[in-house]
Amino acid sequence: MEHRPQRVEIAVEGKGKLLFSHHQPILFIVLFGSVFSGASNSTLTVNYVDLDQSTVSRSFLQAVGHVNGFALKPAASSSVDDEIQKIKDGKMDSLVVIPKGFGQAIASGQHQANIQFYRDVTANTVSGPIESVLNAVANEYQKQHIANVLTAAGKSPQQVHEILQPSVLIQEIQESGDNGTKVSMLDQVVPGYTVMFVFFIIMSMMRSFLGEKESGMLARLRSTPMRPITYLLGMWVPAIIAVLIQCVILLGFGHFVYGVNLGDLSAISRIVLCLSICGTGIGLAVSMWIRGKNQGRAITMLITLGGAALGGVWQTSAVLFAFGLAGLLAAFLRFPHFLRTATN
């Protein structure tokens, strides 16, 4: 009778088990939290050299800087060649150069004003949006020039406005899910690692079963009237409790430290319960069928890392629950053979 009450204590004891269940996932969450905490607020830097230093050139740069998601940064050197060399060396992605005479060309309206845009051809994801913004601002200058020409030709302000109306109007309609709740990278990292490390309970259960088998405990249990299902439930329920505690700690850490939105707590609770039943049920089946620790570790890594690669998006909570029961059934059917192999 002393054997079963110790299951919960056994399930949460040990430095190795605490490392896999609590410390290591928290370490991963902190690591990715420091990397991705500011990813959602990132801006593109527009490096520039203003050789014209006119009111018009400064106005053009201000128009670019007012676009959301872009920040102006003057070049460290006034030498264009030095800045271009930085692009060639991979130290900078792009450079905007406003040459001398830019303001005069805009003011006269008789000559085309040029802006030079140097970019690294291997960094299109960064330089592409900057080039699009430059073209958009340049188009506004073109529209203003056309408006001046039409006004000089005797067109009324109303007529000029109608002529300059675009043939296609893009209407921006902003939509957001979850009642406008902002979703960050950490909202995916914290639940993702919580789910991933749940399946390391398989390794802990495997060690417990093999430990009792090698110590002779199972051989002694063969002489008792204990039924197989009683023994398996005594090993299964404490593992479920250990996983539930692990999930509460990890999700609570993400919520209180990084402000992760947990959403509907009742739904989260049901998912965590089904997940714990699934992971520990598979742990029962694996523990009954493996021949040694090395084989168990390989199967655990395959299930854990393979499931992480798939993302878990194909399984519903009902399927997780079914996996857990299927694992219990497989362990129950295999238990007589497992018991016969126990050493005396």
Domain boundaries, the chain: 7-37+185-340, 43-166
> Cβ atoms within 10 A of the Cβ of 106, count?
21
Is the pTM higher than 0.85? The answer reads no
Question: What is d(CA 40, CA 19) in angstroms, rounded to the nearest whole number?
Answer: 31
Question: Which pLDDT band holds residue 299 (cuts at 50, 70, 90)?
Answer: confident
- Lowest-pLDDT range of 41-50, 64-73, 333-342: 333-342
Q: Is the confidence at residue 31, as pLDDT, over 60?
A: yes
- Mean pLDDT for 212-223 is 76
* Most confidently predicted of 136-140, 265-269, 304-308: 265-269
- Mean pLDDT for 199-221 is 81
Per-residue pLDDT tens for 120-132?
888 778 788 888 8
Burial of 308 (0-12, 13-18, 19+ CB in 10 A): middle
Q: What pLDDT, on a 0 to 100 scale, did the predictor assign at position 244?
A: 92
Query: Dihedral, CA atoms, 253, 257, 262, 263, nearest 10 degrees?
Result: 160
Per-residue pLDDT tens for 139-160?
887 887 777 777 888 888 888 7
240-265 burial by CB neighbour count: b if 16+ within 10 A, else e? Answer: bbbbbbbbeebbebbeeebebeeeee
Per-residue pLDDT tens for 160-182?
788 777 767 666 665 555 555 55
Q: Is the confidence at residue 200, as pLDDT, over 80?
A: yes
Residue 61 and residue 50 in contact, taking contact as beta carbons nearer than 8 Å: yes
- Mean pLDDT for 96-114 is 82
Q: Is the confidence at residue 4, as pLDDT, over 50?
A: no
- Mean pLDDT for 36-41 is 52
Question: 43-166 adopts what CATH topology?
Answer: D-Maltodextrin-Binding Protein; domain 2 (3.40.190)
- Lowest-pLDDT range of 104-118, 297-311, 327-341: 297-311
177 φψ region: left (φ > 0), alpha (ψ -120 to 50), beta (else): beta
Q: What pLDDT, on a 0 to 100 scale, did the predictor assign at position 309?
A: 60
The pLDDT mean for the chain works out to: 77
- SS3 sequence, 206-227? HHHHHHHHHHCHHHHHCCCCCC
Question: What is d(CA 227, CA 139) in angstroms, rounded to the nearest whole number?
Answer: 82
- Mean pLDDT for 263-275 is 88
Percent of the chain with pLDDT over 90: 3
Residue 170 and residue 251 in contact, taking contact as beta carbons nearer than 8 Å: no
| CA dist list (Å): 7 to 55, 232, 239, 335 | 78, 11, 8, 18
